[in-house]
Amino acid sequence: DVKVTQSSRYLVKRTGEKVFLECVQDMDHENMFWYRQDPGLGLRLIYFSYDVKMKEKGDIPEGYSVSREKKERFSLILESASTNQTSMYLCASETGTGYGYTFGSGTRLTVV
């Protein structure tokens, strides 16, 4: 089975800190995605990538950036964390269009 691993299950960071959320998949998937999940809002797409060094903005990219230096790793970066970025962050990967995502277990980030 494909495994998508998010490095931290829970994180607490201070306002203004630079935060790195790491995601690694072990099945050579081309496509990787970062979503945030908030109660009553469902999942919203932050950034995605179809290849190494490639990135595309999703629906809510403001305040975030990403890095994909290796195919298996897709990092989400909060340049200067703010309290409104307190959320559950979900990473997903997909072998190709239409196959369906495999999700990681999520990182619950609290910004204080």
Partner 1 sequence: AQSVTQLDSQVPVFEEAPVELRCNYSSSVSVYLFWYVQYPNQGLQLLLKYLSGSTLVKGINGFEAEFNKSQTSFHLRKPSVHISDTAEYFCAVSRSGYSTLTFGKGTMLLVSP
* Chain positions contacting partner 1, by CB under 8 A: 4, 31, 33, 35, 40-45, 48, 50, 58, 90, 92, 94, 96-98, 100-106
**CB-nearer residue toward partner 1: 7 or 102:** 102
**CB-nearer residue toward partner 1: 81 or 104:** 104
Query: How many CB atoms lie under 10 A from the CB of residue 22?
Result: 16
**CB-nearer residue toward partner 1: 15 or 105:** 105
The full DSSP string for 8-32 is -SEEEE-TT--EEE-EEESS--SEE
Nearest approach, Cβ of residue 12 and partner 1 (Å): 17
